[in-house]
Amino acid sequence: DADVTQTPRNRITKTGKRIMLECSQTKGHDRMYWYRQDPGLGLRLIYYSFDVKDINKGEISDGYSVSRQAQAKFSLSLESAIPNQTALYFCATSVGRGGTQYFGPGTRLTVL
Amino acid sequence: QQQVKQSPQSLIVQKGGIPIINCAYENTAFDYFPWYQQFPGKGPALLIAIRPDVSEKKEGRFTISFNKSAKQFSLHIMDSQPGDSATYFCAASMNFGNEKLTFGTGTRLTIIP
């Protein structure tokens, strides 16, 4: 897990605030992903990036945006947070075709 | 729309028993089926994966059984231990894992001594 780090680990914010969650990896992987985890819903893909210039929407991208600043960094932004974005957010990385996805430790976000 | 359906939602098994977690999928283009294990406070980690050219894969005490015609696959844990208590997610992907993963809803497994 130390190869994929997420900051912050916990965040409480208010409705309407802009929030950025950051992910960094030292694995040298080219692919990075953002998921959210909700009880009873499993993991759902928000955005994914196969390289710095290739960013794609996932299953639930509405209300989120991302930035791939470098191969090692992938940030997720909530432009105007709302309470139903309260969830556990995970970043993951993988390399090449069919590579195993390695997950970070997660960020618990609460929107009041 | 849940493309990968997982059951049960929770499971309690006595130590030494064989918990079985089931998943079913609709998309016949899926050709890579991994299972992830998640401990509290941690991110999911790959446990074992299978491709549809085989019906069973074993790694240690963990076995995936795959039924292509029924579009179902399951995870069996032999000689289960309290340390196996975790949440388990099945997933599916196309193009031999090259495409994005679609996850099931998760099973919270508790192994009691």
Residue-wise pLDDT tens digits, A8-26: 999 999 999 999 999 999 9
Whole-number percent of chain A with pLDDT over 70: 98
Distance from CA of A16 to the nearest CA of B (A): 27
Residue of B nearest to A42 (CA): B105
Query: Chain A residues with CB inside 8 Å of B9's CB?
Result: 40
Query: Chain A residues with CB inside 8 Å of B101's CB?
Result: 45, 101
* Per-residue model confidence (pLDDT) at position B97: 63
Q: Are B111 and B80 in contact (CB under 8 A)?
A: yes
Asked if the model's pLDDT at residue B95 lies above 80, the reply is: no
B1-10 as b/e: b if 16+ CB within 10 A? eeebebeeee
Contact status of A40 with chain B (Cβ, < 8 Å): yes
> pLDDT digit string (tens) for A40-84?
889 999 999 999 999 999 999 999 999 999 999 999 999 999 999
Asked if the model's pLDDT at residue B34 lies above 80, the reply is: yes
Query: Chain B residues with CB inside 8 Å of A48's CB?
Result: 100
d(CA A15, CA B15): 45
Nearest-5° Cα angle at A42, A102 to B106: 90
* Per-residue model confidence (pLDDT) at position B1: 56
Whole-number percent of chain A with pLDDT over 90: 86
Substitution target from A4, A101, A102 for chain B, most B beta carbons within 10 A: A101
d(CA A45, CA A39): 15
* Per-residue model confidence (pLDDT) at position B96: 66
